[in-house]
Every structure is written in C-alpha cells, then in structure tokens.
Amino acid sequence: MTQLLAGKVVFITGAARGQGRNHAIRLAQEGADVIAVDVCASVSEDVGYAAATEADLEETARLVRAEGREIVTAVADVRDLEALRAAVASGVDKFGRLDVVIANAGIATWNRFWEMPEEQWSTLVDINLNGVWRTMAAAVPSMIEAGNGGSIVIVSSAAGVAEAPGCAHYSAAKHGLVGLARTAATELGSFDIRVNSIHPGAVETEMGNDPNVGKVLTTHPEYMNSYKWPLTSVPRTTVEDISNAVVYLATDLSRAVTGTKIVIDMGQTMA
C-alpha cells in the first residue's frame, strides 16, 4: 500500500505520550521519519495530572522504530526557542529535510479567571500560545530552505472555537492559535506551506482525565452546559480520532486546504 508521507520528515512537539505519541506513530506508518520533542517534566504546580517523563519519550521512539522509521528525540521546552531550533537542526542534519510540523505541546489548568494567580494565567499562555509560535519560528526556516512546501498542523481545541468556563486562559490561548494559523497560512502560501488548526473536544488522555476538571464542574455545575455534546455514542474521542485528522492535514489528501479549522468534538461546539 502506498504510504502518504514516504520520504518525508515530521517535527512533533509534546510527543512523549498521548496525542503527540500517537501522531508520531501514525505518521511513521505513513512513511515519515520523526523529530520528536517533549519537556518530560512538570511545568506548573497547577497541572492536575502527572507529567510525561524521558522514559515516555524513549517509548515513543521505540514505537516509531517498530514501524520501520527513524526518529530523533530531544528533551525541550516550547518556552525555549533555542532548544527548539537545536532540535530541528539536529533532525534536519540527520534526515536532510523538514516537511511537516505538528505543534501539539500544551497543558491545561483550571480556575475561574479572576481567581487564578497571574503566574497560572501567564504560564499556560506562554506554553499553549507562545510555544506554538516558537515551534513554528524554529521550524519554518528549514521548510522554506528545503523548498518542498509542506504542512503545519496546529493543535488547538474545542475551547478555541467556543467558551470554556473554568479555564479562560486555555480558551484564550486556543482561540489565539486560530488567528496564528490563519495569518501564517497567508504568509506561507507563496512557499506552498499549508497551515491549519484542529480542535479536539474531550480526549482520552492524561490531560483529558485531569481530576481538577471534575472538581471545578462539581463546584460550578452551571458550567456543564458548555461541556455537553449530542453524539452520545462517543463518550470522548480517542487519540486515534485526532490522528486521523492530523494524517489528513499532513498529507496531500488536503493539498487544497489551508487556513481552516477541523473540529473533532462530538458536536460540543456546534451552533
């Protein structure tokens, strides 16, 4: 069977587990070699779920190699532009090119906006919004230099197209990614680089099982109206559901698609 990304190279952030790991495996199955980074550490005391580890990133590497592809890994924080540039340079040195970027790294924390400390707000925005800008800033020069066009997939959220009571900072950052994606799509169009955003709803991952979600919604049950969906046969999406959209946007299946949003939320945000 023809592989959709044969000979291509993909850069993925937040690749140690969850969505990022699954994206790496799926894109490797389509023939891509992978540059994978993750912070592999706790980044905020406000995060209610366990952090990924270096062992998790090593397992991602093992699983990619099990698909017959190569991978370069680096422990890097998306708040560190130079670390991201170094990771990209290391991968390009090995593989000779860069074709696809999956800007996936992010965190979630919960609090009402006027009650959260400034550090809680700014840390999340720096990772979830500024970190995507840094990811793209680190990767795009190599894509342009290679001259092969390519695709950038920004992982936003259902909270990037609708309200998200209890995590306004998360929603603000994820809405910001839409503006970044649309503007980057315009600026990179002449280089044949497409930029799109995906918007998962509830996903079966460590973040998706954050116990702080239940605490906030129990304390403020009126917020639940923003977190319901009509597709009741799907209690939440899987990482595979999200990777299906990533494969579509990363490959020539979507060669005429740029500057758009794909929402994968069981209908949560439909109006």
- Say how many CA atoms lie within 13 Å of 58 toward its Cβ: 3
For residue 201, list its beta bridge partners.
Answer: none
Region 233-250 average pLDDT? 96
Query: Can you give the pLDDT at residue 214?
Result: 87
Region 240-262 average pLDDT? 98
Query: Can you give the pLDDT at residue 271?
Result: 62
Write the pLDDT tens digit of every residue in 192-227.
999 999 999 999 999 989 999 889 999 999 999 999
Write the pLDDT tens digit of every residue in 151-172.
999 999 999 999 999 999 999 9
The DSSP string of 134-192 is: HHHHHHHHHHHHHT--EEEEEE--GGGTS--TTBHHHHHHHHHHHHHHHHHHHHHGGGT
Write the pLDDT tens digit of every residue in 139-152.
999 999 999 999 99
Find how far residue 212's CA is from the centre of its chain.
Answer: 21
Region 45-74 average pLDDT? 97
Q: H or E element: which one contains 90?
A: helix 81-95
Q: What is the CATH number of domain 7-262?
A: 3.40.50.720
Euclidean distance between CA atoms 114 and 125, whole angstroms: 15
Report yes or no on whether pTM surpasses 0.75.
yes
Query: Can you give the pLDDT at residue 1?
Result: 74
Query: Can you give the pLDDT at residue 242?
Result: 97
Give catalytic residues, as residue numbers: 170
Write the pLDDT tens digit of every residue in 77-133.
999 999 999 999 999 999 999 999 999 999 999 999 999 999 999 999 999 999 999
Q: What is the mean pLDDT of the chain?
A: 96
Query: Can you give the pLDDT at residue 105?
Result: 98
The DSSP string of 207-235 is: GGG-HHHHHHHHH-GGGGGGG--S-TT-S
Q: Both tokens of residue 61?
A: 């590497």
